[in-house]
Amino acid sequence: MPWDPERYEQFKTERYQPFENLMGLVNVRDGLSVIDLGCGTGELTSRLADALPGSDVLGVDSSLEMLTAARKLEREGLRFERRGIEDVTGHWDLIFSNAAIHWVEGHDSLIGRLFSLLRPEGQLVVQTPSNFGHDSHTIIDEVAASEPFREGLDGYVTNWNVLSIDAYAALLYAHGGTDITCFEKVYPHVLPDADALADWMSGTALVPYMERLPEALREPFMERYRERLRGRFPAKPVFFGFRRTLFAATRPAEPEAGS
């Protein structure tokens, strides 16, 4: 079961706030060359393009299903391509990414590589979930470690690749970043019940498990996950505090010749 644009969009209202906060970190200038890493359905890439008039915006994603949805939004100054975040090349005024780089390993090297693709005065602006210690995630790990799922998954457990805010700040500085901003924020969501939380996870963190499990074990996995979530969050509604990390830094302008 790959990424499903409709399932993902089910919680799109809840996803707007971090995107708006991330947009608030962008240094808006005219005519930027922009790449959005892990653009998903393209809806937020389109909003990004709206906010940057005269810019050329490219959204990239590794999921064909997400790209099929995104391509319906193509217009002058906005296009989409299938590409892995780890394979991005080129030179950019703005490298933007909302809720995607946690799927990529090795942030120590990734951040440096992305920073090296920035033009002078270019900006790296990223939001990544950092809530992997939340019960919604640890219960996934527990279910994945229990039989028959452990065997069905061949022992697979997702390794989330998110560093601390201090580590991102230090990395950005080490790569010559200026105007460094780096913070974590908890986004409060109130969901009707524990099953709604399971639905949210099924659109994101559960995707790699559903991809790997034999079809006959997918619904039993979801059922055990729902059961455990209901046990952990018996009250209705359910408060879901979603911790996210946002960071941005600018590559300095090149010194003028002779200076």
Candidates 25, 52, 100, 118: give the one binding ligand SAM (CB under 6 A).
100
Q: Strand 118-129 to strand 238-250: parallel, antiparallel, or no bridges (unpaired)?
A: antiparallel
- Show the binding pattern over residues 219-248: x = contacts ligand SAM (CB under 6 A), - = does not: ------------------------------
Q: Which is nearer to ligand SAM, 100 or 229 (CB)?
A: 100
Q: In the complex, what is the shortest distance from the CB of residue 46 to ligand SAM, in angstroms, rounded to a whole number?
A: 11
Which of 48, 52, 55, 98 touches ligand SAM (CB under 6 A)? 98
Q: Which is nearer to ligand SAM, 105 or 254 (CB)?
A: 105
d(CA 109, CA 121): 21
Q: Does residue 3 interact with ligand SAM by CB under 6 A? A: yes
Q: Which residue has the tokens 């300095």?
A: 252
Q: How far is the CB of 227 from ligand SAM (least distance, A)?
A: 25
Segment contacting ligand SAM (CB under 6 A): 92-100, 141-149, 186-194, 224-232? 92-100
Does residue 66 belong to the site contacting ligand SAM (CB under 6 A)?
yes
Binding segment (CB under 6 A) for ligand SAM, from list 48-56, 84-92, 180-188, 215-223: 84-92
Of 99, 144, 182, 229, the residue at the interface with ligand SAM (CB under 6 A) is 99
For residue 159 the two structure tokens come to 């390794």
- Binding residues for ligand SAM, rule: CB under 6 A, are 3, 15, 38-40, 44, 61-63, 66, 84-86, 98-100, 103-104, 204
